[in-house]
Structure 1
């Protein structure tokens, strides 16, 4: 009888925009398919989104990091330093909450997507990240070392990318200095590509922490006022209901659930978005043409955007430089491509089975 009880896995994505939450969706589905019982833990919009995606699963709200971006990119690193005491306090609160959750919810294993305090020495714990190297300008060596010290507290590190030069994250996911097993599990996406008639000439897909999400939204609404084609604008504001408004050639949504977003992306010729890694994985899976505007001052997004432009996959520019005419350059780029990698989830989840 004991063997028939499903093992309960705490899945805890960071609330930093929607990317960490959405890339956990295929993993949650895989856990369900492999007879585990996922328990979701997060906060903010990431928490709300996963509650909508998995209304039947147990969900637990974690202490919030409450991290915000600087309004100007050059102050990004300074803002992060100012947030450090708040972050340390939140991680300590997270550790206490995790201990209680493990006992109260009978948790058998942990999958933390960049939540630094969600781990325990008592049960198998996995840390998921594509950033084994954390770019921060001239302090990259320090930020990388600090991040790897945290990762070493876990039993395994899962990297949502493939190995090799043609990977999506470039040098971000390469390291030989971690003392725990590193498993490359392939790019994760909740979406599937299918053939359909194109409905939108351009889709704008926004996400990410404030105030930069709003700053880009307002800038794009103004700049795209002269856009001639059919435009879909998804703001990335998770509210109780998904609402649509139509104004001339533009249809806008506050947010879309997975099914609706998958359909809209497949129906769009070009996607304009941040160069957040989860968005890049999604667009690669759907083999889309894209235009990237990295979050100002966020070294990781700036690196990914520049790399994809240099490789001839997608054009990009700084936030304050974007002009609607730049979208025409998408024709000169190949678009993103999916990597041929199939994740063996049964084997991957052996850690949680004690194998």
Structure 2
């Protein structure tokens, strides 16, 4: 069957920028293999993809209204309090997807953690690095619930390897893997380049509010004492790019993929959250980094602890960060490329059946 003009709905969750950015190589691969991607999301995730792919059709989906508490200790309580709104949004998007399938003649679905973006009548793929969902003492429950939903999709693509070493550890690996799980290798929109060093430190922020702003404000103060040149990407997707110079720090509200790739390659070390998409980018580029996990987000805390234990990347809690902690980076190996190649042609066969 010919895949010319087959429309594939690709829908990342709007939870920071990670889900949207790791969909960029998927969208490019779909176009390369003559599919027509149609983007669906909300908020800054949708804004980012519209900037990256202005020539593609895009659709706004209902927001999950995910908010972080100012105090990470209350993260689980806040998520539970928001859960009725999330359930409403998931049911709304499920109804909306039915209409989208008819209106846009959708032939396949790729959902990055959007639980309601699927349909029994057409091939539906779920992308996640969290087969186990870390929530402290309720991990067993949230993991079972997540796996139940994953099994409703035709396939689940995990952006990691099923061998050791790997990037996700217990997050992305089950003792008894389900039949529909495929390990596709880490995804990154960035490529390693040999460029002259321009910055001693790159700071890149993302993630839901108010934690993104809280870390931005803290680092803006703490890094005044840092000796070296800094490029500071705030991760605020706005209508226009804003660049400001402040002593030894160059601030950007956001960068597009090409600009980020250059800045990463021109930087000695990276200071960032321990979000999984960022970890995949750092591994692809073979970078040394320092992590500040989002307070209360068990997944980021787990990944930071895992990579520190393996001697790859140091981390500390947000409230304890001081600029001199960056000296610890030299004591760690940094992340390395796992040297995998995503077999897009094989994966996309699902949409040709």
Contact kept in structure 1, 2:4 and 2:34, CA below 8 Å? no
Distance 1:172 1:40 in 2: 27
Contact 1:231 1:251 in 2 (8 A): yes
Q: TM-score, normalised by structure 2?
A: 0.98
Equivalent residue number for residue 91 of structure 2: 92
1:8-19 residue pairs with structure 2 within 5 A?
8-19=7-18
Which runs of no fewer than 5 residues in structure 2 stay unpaired?
A: none
Offset, 1:165: 2.2
Aligned residue number for residue 182 of structure 1: 181
Deviations 1:7-61 (A, max 9, x none): 1000000000000000000011011111111000000000000001001011001
Q: Secondary structure at the match of 1:204?
A: strand
Equivalent residue, structure 1, for 2:330: 331
CA displacement at 1:3 relative to structure 2 = 4.3
- What secondary structure is seen at the aligned counterpart in 2 of 1:138? helix
Once residues 327 and 185 of structure 1 are traced to their aligned partners in structure 2, the CA distance between those partners, rounded to angstroms, is 33
Instruction: Count how many residue pairs are aligned between Structure 1 and Structure 2.
Output: 353
Q: Does 1:66 align with 2:68?
A: no
Q: Contact between 1:155 and 1:180, CA under 8 Å: does it hold in 2?
A: no
Partner in structure 2 of residue 309 of structure 1: 308
* 1:138 partnered with 2:117: no
1:283-322 superposed matches below 5 A: 283-322=282-321
Q: Is the 8 A contact 2:127 2:158 kept in 1?
A: yes
Matched, 1:278 2:282: no
Paired residues for 1:221-236 under 5 Å? 221-236=220-235
- Residue 106 of structure 2 aligns to a residue in which SS? coil
Q: Per-residue deviation at 1:178?
A: 5.5
| Residue of structure 1 in register with 2:110 after alignment | 111
Task: Summarize deviations over 1:143-196 as a string: whole Å, max 9, x none.
Answer: 001111111111000000011221111111111556441100000000000101
Deviation at 1:5, TM superposition (A): 4.0
Residues 46 and 38 of structure 1, relative CA distance in 2, 3 Å threshold = same
Q: TM-score, normalised by structure 1?
A: 0.98
| Structure 1: distance between partners of 2:257 and 2:54 | 13
Distance, in Å, in 1 between the alignment partners of 2:216 and 2:197 is 24
Work out whether residues 162 and 184 of structure 1, in 8 Å CA contact, stay in contact via their aligned partners in 2: yes
How far, CA to CA, are the matches of 1:99 and 1:180 in structure 2? 26
Q: Secondary structure at the match of 2:232?
A: strand
Dislocated runs of 4+, deviation >2 Å: 2-5, 176-180
Per-residue CA deviations over 1:225-265 (Å, capped at 9, x if unaligned) read 11110011100000011111011111000000000010000
Q: 1:176/1:126 Cα in 2 relative to 1: closer, same or farther (>3 Å)?
A: farther
What pairs up with 1:41-52 in 2 under 5 angstroms?
A: 41-52=40-51
SS at 1:246 equivalent: strand
Please give the per-residue CA displacement for 1:304-328, whole angstroms capped at 9, x wherever unaligned.
Answer: 0011111111110000010110001
- In 1: Cα distance, 2:210 partner to 2:164 partner: 34
For the aligned residues, what is the CA RMSD? Answer: 1.1
What are the residue-to-residue correspondences of 1:35-46 with 2, within 5 Å? Answer: 35-46=34-45
Q: Is the 8 A contact 2:4 2:35 kept in 1?
A: no
Residue of structure 2 in register with 1:345 after alignment = 344
Q: Distance in 1 between matches of 2:343 and 2:2?
A: 22
